[in-house]
Structure 1
Amino acid sequence: MAETSRLFTKGFLSLTIAQFFGAVNDNLLKGVLSFAVASGGLWSGQLGAGGQGYVGLCLTIPFILLSGFAGQLADRTSKRRITVLVKIAEVFIALIGFAGFLMGNLWLTLAALLILAIQSSFFGPAKYGMIPELVGKEQLSQANGSINMFTNLAVIAGTLAAGPVYSFYAPEPGSSLSPMLWLPGVAMLLTAILGLIVALPIPKLEAMDPELKINWNPFSVYYHAVRDMAGSHLLLVASAWAFFYMIGMLAILILPDYRDLLQVTPTKASILLGILGISIGIGSVSAGLISGKHIEPRLIPVGAVGMTLFFALLGLTPLNFTLVAILLAGAGIFAGFYIVPLQALLQHLSPDDERGRFLGTANALSFIASSLGSLIFLAARSHFQLASNHVFLICAALALVGSGFLIWRLRPLITDPALRGN
């Protein structure tokens, strides 16, 4: 084990930057596809109203089916080896995306997104399980704050790039630009290669349970893990963590429609996604700094209340670009306050030799919640014909009711002075 009391070791920096490039690719591909299938996009109507909900499902379903297996693999195998292998796979997936965009084929590009999600589902438990092996337990809050910050910087980079990349790929009618059909694929390929290069310096890590017998039935894995987690506060922590991703998926799916709602370019609409990513990063780093060398669960209810307020305002206030940007920034900062202590608690409460299995199950729960977010968005847009900005009211209601219930049940952890080092 390479655990150390220092935070910014070579291994942790390599992991953080490798995660950065992986998240850039996820969000670049998802962003370009979302603009293409959203109102006014190149492939608008091919997936029906709210078609970006199907894009969201392509990104979440593989995590539900594979996270249990991926978590076991992270316990049985070196997490460093898994990381390098998934980064090699990402290069080949980028080539599939390149072909899909070059041919103008929606289904091939959706297939690339689906395979990229499969690759990411194997990276998740290894990535989060590796953090306590690369840094000391007293650094968990700051490590999670830092990796969340870089992840959200990646969300910013990917989503901000998605707007102009889409605009060059499919120029607006009447534009003098010629379509650059190669651009999305080349951007993905270069990002994947950089991610592989920076992953190589991660130090060798021993498998935590090399004799583990793999259970090939993912639902059996989840059942046993949930049963074991229910014996402590882990299941409630994992549920509160997953709940965040349902709300987050709803918010992310709403924002591409602001291109039509605000009558702005794809590039300007992608700025809104970038603002949300920046603010979550700021909130995550702030949560890590406030926590110091301990875990600060009291930030969880603060984050839930802030998200409820700002999402409600997004659903109720007039459609104005500046106002929407300010409210998104507020929601993002409080989202960072909510997620960082929950992430640190998941790692802190999981036993070393079962961390991969538990984190894999928590990952699956988060993507089940994300899939529910996609389905809620599809129902709100296509069945109830709700305007996209009013879907933020659903986000606010979920943050208030769901998070409130889970936080009430987590009172013993939130008020535990031992976690805060008191």
Structure 2
Amino acid sequence: MQNVTHLLRARRFMPLFATQFLGAFNDSLFKQAVVLFVTYQLFSNPAKEFQFSAIAQGLFILPFFLFSALSGQLADDHDKARLIRIIKLAEIGIMVVGGAGIMLANIPLMLAAVFAMGIHSTFFGPIKYAILPQHLRRDEVLGGTGLVEAGTYIAILGGTILAGALVSTPAIAAAATIGFAVLGYLAGRQVPPAPPAAERIPFNWHIIHASIELVSATLHIRRLFLAILSISFFWTIGAVLIIIFPPLVKNVLGADEQVASLFIAIFSIGIAFGSVLINRLLKSEVSARFAPGSVIAMGVFVLLLHFVALAWGKHGPGLTTLGNFVFHPMAGLMIVALLGVAITGGMFVVPLYAFLTTTVPKTETARTVAANNIVNSGAMVIGSLLAFGLSSLGVGPVGQLLLVAAMCLVAAWLGWKLHLACD
């Protein structure tokens, strides 16, 4: 990565990177274990499996819409390092509840923990981005953001692989989620102080009013609002894809949970690679000039994924294993399509996050990230509801890939508007 690998040896960055890495790893491990456990061991109805995946995704996203305004105010008004310690301590308790849900095969407990992890991520998200311009130089922010994003998706990869391996042993899966939460708390304790950059701000506890006020504050900065809209469409696309993957693998490809984990793993590797690649192409400059082309290419790869899935051969009543899957004649093309979607997606979204943290004063960074999270989560909830509704109408995962491709065109248009506005 362009001139930023030294950050991995610096205390002003490495503890935050490790905390985020462990949090993303554990979040992926828990959510993937829950979805795979329910899809492969509790349900045997394709429509119910798809709908559970959509419900779990929607519950995780909903707190971002409800509580981002509060999280942004807290992050700008308090020492961010202290908040990290409190949030990571809460994660341990959440994983105790979630682990109990997995061991008892209790769906309400599992969904409660998914919702609580959404709250945890809502309050941690603004901090992890807002702390970067506080601890890093301006010419390090894009590279630092890219490292965080790449690390996040490598962590998701690791958590996904481990979930696929542990899903058949619920007790070990539950213990692992608690153990990684403890490690995340210990890493968070090493993050250097990050006191508020201004005097205390008036705190607005009214969730709806605070959210409207926060989003409205971004409207007058054209490039900032265009960046937020572009990121929102990207994560709506991502939400629908994550919902699609488990039922696509089981009911269309006829494959087991290890193949479902492989899909998420490939997606994670691709976004991590795209995050690093775009920083090299831009040479640490905050720019949207590659955004339109990146997301158009993403749409092309989504269409390829659709046609490969459509042409996939019939399978028997038994689920094929990972070993058999990779020898399928069309498996190579499927993997190329998945990897292409992820790489181009990473190239699209990483520079947009750098816009969020460099467009406004440091005193407003966390609230800006929170405003972004509100719009993102609203769009993602709509995407989850749309996927749920289409599934109820009989539109399966293969058909819904066409929806994703169409959404890429909207994201490309927004990326082009952003490029014209600021490059």
Output the TM-score relative to the length of structure 1.
Answer: 0.90
Matches within 5 A, 1:14-413: 14-38=15-39, 40-44=40-44, 48-50=48-50, 51-166=52-167, 168=168, 180-232=169-221, 233-257=223-247, 258-317=249-308, 318-319=311-312, 320-383=330-393, 385-400=394-409, 402-413=410-421
AA of the residue aligned to 2:194: L
Root mean square deviation of aligned Cα: 1.9
Deviation at 1:321, TM superposition (A): 3.0
| 1: CA distance, partners of 2:357 / 2:295 | 21
Is this contact kept in 2: 1:156–1:273, CA < 8 A? yes
Deviation at 1:49, TM superposition (A): 5.0
Identity %: 28
| 1: CA distance, partners of 2:343 / 2:5 | 28
Is this contact kept in 1: 2:298–2:345, CA < 8 A? yes
Is this contact kept in 2: 1:11–1:201, CA < 8 A? no
- CA shift in 2, pair 1:244/1:377, >3 Å: same
Q: Which has the higher mean CA deviation after the structures are superposed, 60-69 or 199-208?
A: 199-208
Corresponding residue SS for 1:204: coil
| 1: CA distance, partners of 2:163 / 2:98 | 14
Is this contact kept in 1: 2:294–2:345, CA < 8 A? yes
Partner in structure 2 of residue 7 of structure 1 = 7
| 1: CA distance, partners of 2:239 / 2:43 | 21
Q: Which has the higher mean CA deviation after the structures are superposed, 13-22 or 203-212?
A: 203-212
Deviation at 1:224, TM superposition (A): 2.0
1:301-345 deviation line (CA, Å, top 9, x unaligned)? 121111111011111222343322110000111001100110101
- Give the gaps of 5 or more residues in structure 2: 313-329
Is this contact kept in 2: 1:146–1:288, CA < 8 A? no
Deviation at 1:293, TM superposition (A): 3.0
1:35-75 deviation line (CA, Å, top 9, x unaligned)? 2333x542455993522000101110011101110000000
1:342-391 deviation line (CA, Å, top 9, x unaligned)? 010111112211111111110111111221221121122222x1221221
Deviation at 1:214, TM superposition (A): 1.0
Is this contact kept in 1: 2:274–2:347, CA < 8 A? yes
Deviation at 1:6, TM superposition (A): 6.3
| 2: CA distance, partners of 1:405 / 1:90 | 38
- CA shift in 2, pair 1:290/1:404, >3 Å: closer
Is this contact kept in 1: 2:34–2:102, CA < 8 A? no
| 1: CA distance, partners of 2:128 / 2:44 | 36
Is this contact kept in 2: 1:74–1:356, CA < 8 A? yes
Q: Which has the higher mean CA deviation after the structures are superposed, 23-32 or 289-298?
A: 289-298
Number of aligned positions between the proteins: 397
AA of the residue aligned to 1:269: A
- CA shift in 2, pair 1:87/1:407, >3 Å: same
AA of the residue aligned to 2:7: L
- CA shift in 2, pair 1:7/1:293, >3 Å: farther
| 2: CA distance, partners of 1:351 / 1:243 | 25
| 1: CA distance, partners of 2:206 / 2:354 | 28
Is this contact kept in 2: 1:297–1:413, CA < 8 A? no
Corresponding residue SS for 1:410: helix
| 2: CA distance, partners of 1:291 / 1:409 | 18
Corresponding residue SS for 1:182: helix
Deviation at 1:101, TM superposition (A): 1.5
Corresponding residue SS for 1:214: coil
| 1: CA distance, partners of 2:5 / 2:28 | 33
- Give the gaps of 5 or more residues in structure 1: 169-179, 417-422
Q: Which has the higher mean CA deviation after the structures are superposed, 7-16 or 238-247?
A: 7-16
- CA shift in 2, pair 1:7/1:299, >3 Å: farther
Is this contact kept in 2: 1:37–1:47, CA < 8 A? no
Is this contact kept in 1: 2:47–2:392, CA < 8 A? no
AA of the residue aligned to 2:205: W
Quick check: which one's helix share is greater?
2
- CA shift in 2, pair 1:215/1:6, >3 Å: farther
| 2: CA distance, partners of 1:79 / 1:112 | 24
| 2: CA distance, partners of 1:392 / 1:350 | 36
Is this contact kept in 1: 2:231–2:352, CA < 8 A? yes
| 1: CA distance, partners of 2:53 / 2:5 | 43
Q: Which has the higher mean CA deviation after the structures are superposed, 338-347 or 98-107?
A: 98-107
- CA shift in 2, pair 1:36/1:295, >3 Å: same
Is this contact kept in 2: 1:47–1:54, CA < 8 A? no
| Runs of 4+ off more than 4 Å | 44-47
| 1: CA distance, partners of 2:403 / 2:66 | 27
Is this contact kept in 1: 2:43–2:49, CA < 8 A? no
| 2: CA distance, partners of 1:66 / 1:129 | 17
| 2: CA distance, partners of 1:404 / 1:311 | 14
Partner in structure 2 of residue 177 of structure 1 = none
AA of the residue aligned to 2:89: I
Deviation at 1:155, TM superposition (A): 1.2
